[in-house]
Amino acid sequence: MRILRALAAGRALVPGFGSEAFLAPWPDRRVWHHEDLTREAAAAQGFDDGAATVLAFHATYVDHYLLNPLWLASGGPARVRAARAVRADLETLHFDDLDGPEAVQRAWRRYLGGTVCALLWAAHGDLGVPGQGPTAERRTALARQAVGLGLHAVQDFASHSTWIDDPARRGRTWWEWRDAGGDTTDVVTGGVDGPGAVRHGDLGLRWRGRQGVAIPLRGHVSTPRRLTGAGAGINLDTRWQARVGARGRTWRPDGALEPDEAFDAARAQALRTSVTWLAELAAVCERAGLADLWERVRTGTGGGGGARAVRAAGAREFEDPRRRAHQLLAAGAPGRRARGEDPRAESPRTFPTSGDEGSGRGEDSWFLRIDADADARRGPGRVTSRVVGPYEHPPTSLGEPRSGVVRTVTAFRGGASDAEVRGYRLERADGAATRLRLTETWRAVVDLPDPRA
Instruction: Please report which confidence band the pLDDT of residue 211 belongs to, taking 50, 70 and 90 as the band edges.
Output: confident
> Residue 97 carries which DSSP code?
S
Q: Would you place residue 345 in the very low, low, confident or very high pLDDT band (cuts 50, 70, 90)?
A: very low
Spatial separation of the C-alpha atoms in residues 358 and 376, rounded to whole Å? 28
| Alpha-carbon gap, residue 341 to 87, rounded angstroms | 9
Which amino acid is it at 270? A
pLDDT exceeds cutoff 90 at 162:
yes
CA–CA distance from 341 to each of 92, 337, 349 (Å)? 13, 8, 9
| Residue 277 belongs to some domain of the structure | yes
Q: What is the tally of helices (H) and strands (E) in the chain?
A: 14, 11
Q: Same structural domain for residues 236 and 357?
A: no
Cβ(274)–Cβ(38) under 8 Å? Answer: yes
Q: Are residues 304 and 352 in the same domain?
A: no
Q: Is the pLDDT of residue 419 over 70?
A: yes
In this structure, the answer to whether residues 315 and 347 fall within a common structural domain is no
Residues 6+ apart with CB under 8 A from 41: 151, 271, 274, 275, 277, 278
Q: Is 167 exposed, middle or buried (0-12, 13-18, 19+ CB in 10 A)?
A: middle
Is residue 14 within 8 Å of 69, Cβ to Cβ? no
Q: Cα–Cα distance between 143 and 323 in angstroms, integer?
A: 10
> Model confidence at 432, in pLDDT bands (50, 70, 90)?
low
Residues 222, 74 share a domain: yes
Residue 326 located in a structural domain? no
Q: Which pLDDT value is given to residue 449? A: 79
Cite the DSSP H helix spans in 99-235. Answer: 101-124, 136-160, 174-179
In-domain check, residue 330: no
Q: pTM above 0.95?
A: no
pLDDT of residue 356: 64
pLDDT tens digit sequence for 287-316: 999 999 999 999 976 666 789 999 999 999
**What's the pLDDT at 348?**
41
pLDDT value of residue 384: 87
Whether residue 403 is predicted with pLDDT greater than 70 in this model: the reply is no
* d(C-alpha 235, C-alpha 17), whole Å: 9
User: Which among 319, 351, 373 is the end of a domain?
Assistant: 319
Of the residues 251, 285, 319, which one is the last residue of a structural domain? 319
Predicted confidence at residue 452, as pLDDT, reads 47
Do 270 and 410 lie in one domain? The reply is no
- Shared domain for 288 and 354, answered yes or no, is no
- Tell me, what's the pLDDT at 342? 43
The chain-wide mean pLDDT, for the chain, equals 87
Rounded CA gap, 212 and 17, in Å?
Answer: 21
Query: What is the average pLDDT across 124-151?
Result: 88
pLDDT over threshold 70, residue 354: no
DSSP one-letter string for 422-443: EEEEEEEPTT-TTEEEEEEEEE
> By residue range, what is the domain housing residue 236?
2-319
- Cis preceding linkage at 27, omega within 30: yes
- Asked, for residue 417, whether it belongs to a domain, the answer is yes
Phi-psi map region of 355: left, alpha, beta (phi>0 left; psi -120 to 50 alpha)? beta
In-domain check, residue 452: no
How does DSSP classify residue 364? T
Q: Do 301 and 379 fall within a single domain? A: no
| Cβ count near 190 (within 10 Å) | 28
Residues 268, 385: one domain?
no
In angstroms, the CA 16 to CA 59 distance is 10
Give the pLDDT band (50/70/90) at residue 190.
very high
Indicate the helix (H) or strand (E) that contains 301.
none
| Residue pLDDT, tens place only, 321-342 | 999 999 999 999 986 543 334 4
Whether 25 is covered by a domain: the verdict is: yes
202: DSSP letter: -
Q: Choose between 415 and 160: higher pLDDT.
A: 160
Considering the domain boundaries, does residue 306 fall inside one?
Answer: yes
Structural domain includes residue 335: no
Closest CA to 108 of 198, 42, 189: 189
Report whether pLDDT(133) > 70: no
Question: Per the omega criterion (within 30 degrees of 0), is the bond before 390 cis?
Answer: yes
Task: Please list, in sequence order, all residues whose beta carbon lies within 8 angstroms of the beta carbon of residue 413, skipping any fewer than 6 positions away.
Answer: 113, 117, 364, 365, 366, 367, 419, 420, 421
Q: Indicate whether 23 and 133 sit together in one domain.
A: yes
Q: Are residues 137 and 286 in the same domain?
A: yes
> Phi, psi at residue 447, to the nearest 5°?
-70, 150
Task: Give the pLDDT of residue 44.
Answer: 98
Domain count, the chain: 2
pLDDT one-digit tens code per residue, 215-252: 888 888 999 998 888 889 999 999 999 999 999 999 99
Same domain, 301 and 358: no
Q: Do 175 and 206 fall within a single domain?
A: yes
